[in-house]
Chain A
Amino acid sequence: MKKIFLALFLSATSLFGGDFYGIIVAETEVENIGHHVFFDAMRMNRQMGKIAKNLGREFKQIMFYDDDLVADEIIQQIDSLELKHDDIVFFYFSGHGQQAVEHPDDPWPLMKLGGRQAINLSTVTMKLLEKNPRLVVAMADCCNHALSIDPVELYFAFPKGEIIDDCEKELIQVNTQKLFHDHSGLIMASSSKAGEPSWSGMMGSFYTLYWIQALYHELREQDTAWEMIFERTTQRLEDKQHPQYLIIPSNEDARLTLDVLKN
């Protein structure tokens, strides 16, 4: 009975719940970390696909990588998105980054796009919020400046072949709904605070790896929350890298907050 209810619930949200947009901007050709970024992009794309599936929403994937990384084209594509009120948008960036120097109070990073181009995470987030979707999740895994830290030991805890029983499948779907469908407004995150670097290794970027691990575990908890995912990620990075996140349940309040940072 529970299963039938869940199936009905999922199909209902799929009918009335809008689409799930996954926008990935990955600096895969960048000097030194290109292959790390490639792993990040592949992993996040897979995660987004899973999230969309568990939400019962159509996954609309938009990827910018290699030679596609032209700031104007990315902004143009975002501008041309026709989002419905109940859509969910997940924006993810991996690549080089630095502090948003032109707005000293903006704690969110400037995302580099190869060459001399760059976009602020807060600018992209604002553009997405202005389209009034149900929820915007915006995340950047990149440096937010430079700081001396010790190496991070990576821990890979992903099961090789995921064996999910029906109960667990239901739990994952319910938790995914809680995280994405039951939230509105803005979820914003970056892999380091202003003035600090982010790190990557042979297997990818540490923040992205730990964030995916945290999501994996949180989706299997009896109760879940965005805060827990970000806190778990922070905990795993120990004191070596200091990520930040912001959760604002109203689109209007989120826009006001981002606006204040730039003035």
Chain B
Amino acid sequence: MKYFIVALFMTLGVFLLSLDTTAVPLSTDQLCGKIGSEFVHAIESADTIKALKLLPKHHKTKEEKQGYNVIPSEREMDEALVRAVKSCILNDEHYYFDMTKKCEFVPEIGFIISGDKEYTVYASYCAKQLKFIDGSHEIIIDCDPMGPLMEKTFERAVRS
């Protein structure tokens, strides 16, 4: 009877885990094809991600990074938020890979993923695009299918 109850709880535990909607989905080939599997792996395996708030050029700030003004209030996100951000980024369904908008990319928020080396992801809410930066290699991908999820999730990372 004791073993039966333990087995029942274990089964229940596995079932509840499978209901965890914040679990990070596997990245698909298309995103790997665009930004490289190392970049995707770095995001997948990151324990912490630093968020950066960015402002347009006319805002005077102490630090400039990648040509944008960066508010130097970097902070680490908690585990749940890291998972949520990963869920947004690591999903082929969230992107258009075969077309792009003809508007300027103006980043509003950034994420730094540190591992063997540093990777950066910038997001533009108005253009609905993400910019992936791996050293000198940069690529912009349209993420319209992400809808309001992007701003809702990403803003949690910089909101105090």
Contacts and interface: CB of A to CB of B under 8 A. Distances in A.
Interface of A: 31-33, 36, 94-98, 112, 116, 141-143, 145-146, 148-149, 151-152, 191, 197-202, 205-206
Contacts of A97: 102-103
Nearest to A98: B103
A199 B144 CA distance: 12
9 contacts: A98-B104, A116-B57, A143-B101, A143-B102, A143-B103, A146-B127, A152-B99, A197-B101, A198-B101
A116 B99 CA distance: 24
A54 B147 CA distance: 47
B100 interface: yes
Nearest to B127: A146
Interface string B114-157: 00000000000011100000000010100011010000000000
B20 interface: no
Nearest to A116: B57
Nearest to B126: A146
B31 to A, nearest CB: 16
Contacts of A191: 102
Nearest to A27: B102
B98 interface: yes
B30 to A, nearest CB: 13
Contact of B128 (A116, A148, A202): A148
B60 to A, nearest CB: 16
Contact of A200 (B100, B127, B140, B144): B100
A198 B102 CA distance: 6
B102 A142 contact: yes
Contacts of A32: 100, 105, 140
A202 B98 contact: yes
Nearest to A240: B99
B144 A148 contact: yes
A152 B98 CA distance: 9
Nearest to A202: B98
Q: Pick the 7 closest A-B CB pairs, nearest first.
A: A143-B103, A148-B144, A197-B101, A32-B140, A198-B102, A201-B99, A96-B104
